[in-house]
Amino acid sequence: MNPDTAKKPLLNKGMSAVMLAQFFSAFGDNALLFALLAFIKDLQYPDWSRPVLQMAFVVTYIVTAPFVGHIADGFSKGRVMMMANGLKVLGATAVCVGFDPFLGYVLVGLGAAFYSPAKYGILGELTTEDKLVKANGLIEASTIAAILLGSIAGGYVADLSVMASLIMCSGIFLCAVIANFYIPKLQPARKIIKWDFKQILVHFIESIQALWKDKYARFTLLGTSLFWGAGITLRFLLIDWVPIALGISDNKTPTILNGIVAIGIVIGAGLAAKLVSLNKITRCIPAGIVMGICVSYLVMQENVYFIYALLVLIGALGGFFLVPLNAYLQDFGKKTVGAGNAIAVQNISENSVMLIMLGIYSVVVALGIPVIWIGVGFGGLFACVIFSLWLWQKVK
């Protein structure tokens, strides 16, 4: 950490630049997903291919996990973020000029995989431990605002012109690259070890073992993995549920509903920053349990205003659950294996769970199981698993 960091206010120039870069990057990620979903819909791909598109993105996180933390901790994190956003520009632009949408999305996924450990790891270098939960709250607020606006923009512009929505995404990613120029060029967190595949893999396995030995770090890995697995599945569940529950088949409505969840996450992240400290992270666990119950209840509703209220509540519970867990892992990782490596381990855990849950969702959709049944079972299972992890964490 820069020795002057402790004297700086939380919202300093570096933090503001990270928030801005994160806003554009997350805006582009979410707008591009809905633009590509509209694109493959126009090409008449089958319904089960929609979650497969997201799976192509997720696989990149898993494949690159042993290396991205190593890179994030071995170079200036702001420059790593810039390179990663450059890959996103390349992937989105490739689809615009006729590249296969699945392969183009893989390129964007590679950019996102390199971006993630640098984005979260840099927070501990720009602020102090006592401000880390609040810093995460700011980043999550920036991310959720981007999810809200990006999702809506992607669906809305795609209803007008799919190609225009794809071009818009390329431009947004370029804005993220420009914002990265204003992030201070900090010193690498750790000296680069020899660039040997076996050595890097061994170091990554050692990082996994170090995190798994700590009771709270272990729960954080499992808790955030389940959250993001549930979150990505809920996104596709809403896309399939809207035509059945609300009788609407456009691209815009599901993006609005996903955006409403994002509003709730901003609220929950803000509450977590005020009510949960690093030594009290278990306070967030009940929120995860109630979130699953609310999802089961949501899919049985038909009143649109009540649906909006439930989605805000689900998002708020999710934000309250997620932010303290992220902050704890960053702080623990910074003190042990390196923040970048800790986030890389978190990425492989989260994306493995996402891949499994998306795969299961694709199968049940292909089997023709009613989407309402899927939603009820999904929410109930999530609540039960979080409750089981809570009990396990208390016993261990």
Apex 354 CA angle, 198 and 85, nearest 5: 70
Please say whether the beta carbons of 83 and 72 come within 8 A: no
Spatial separation of the C-alpha atoms in residues 276 and 280, rounded to whole Å: 6
- Measured N-to-C along each axis, helices 77-96 and 13-42 cross at an angle, to the nearest 10 degrees, of 20
Model pLDDT, residue 254: 80
pLDDT of res. 350 = 86
Give the separation between CA 313 and CA 332, rounded to whole angstroms: 30
What's residue 15's pLDDT? Answer: 81
CA distance 205 to 77: 22
Quote the CA–CA distance of 286 and 292 in Å, as a whole number: 10
pLDDT at position 29, please? 92
Predicted local distance difference test score (pLDDT) of residue 28? 94
- pLDDT score for 107: 94
pLDDT per residue, tens digit, the chain (396 aa), is 455 544 555 567 778 888 899 999 999 998 998 899 889 888 888 777 888 888 888 888 888 878 877 787 778 888 889 999 999 999 999 999 988 999 999 999 999 988 887 887 787 777 776 677 777 777 877 887 787 788 888 888 988 899 999 999 999 999 999 998 888 877 776 665 566 777 778 878 888 888 888 888 888 888 888 888 888 888 888 888 888 877 877 777 887 887 788 788 878 877 887 777 666 777 788 888 899 899 889 888 888 888 889 999 998 998 888 878 877 887 787 788 776 677 778 878 888 888 888 888 888 888 888 888 988 888 888 888 888 877 776 665
192 DSSP assignment:
P
pLDDT of 2-18, one tens digit each?
Answer: 555 445 555 677 788 88
**In this predicted structure, what is the pLDDT of residue 9?**
57
- Token pair belonging to 294: 């609310």
CATH code that applies to domain 12-183+201-395: 1.20.1250.20
How confident is the model at residue 94, as a pLDDT? 94
What is the predicted pLDDT for the residue at 351? 84
Task: Render pLDDT for 282-316 as a digit per residue (tens, 0 to 9).
Answer: 778 888 889 989 988 988 888 888 888 999 999 89
- Check: CB of residue 265 under 8 Å from CB of residue 120: no
Structure confidence at residue 278 (pLDDT) = 67
Amino acid at 132: L
* Three-state DSSP state, 12: coil
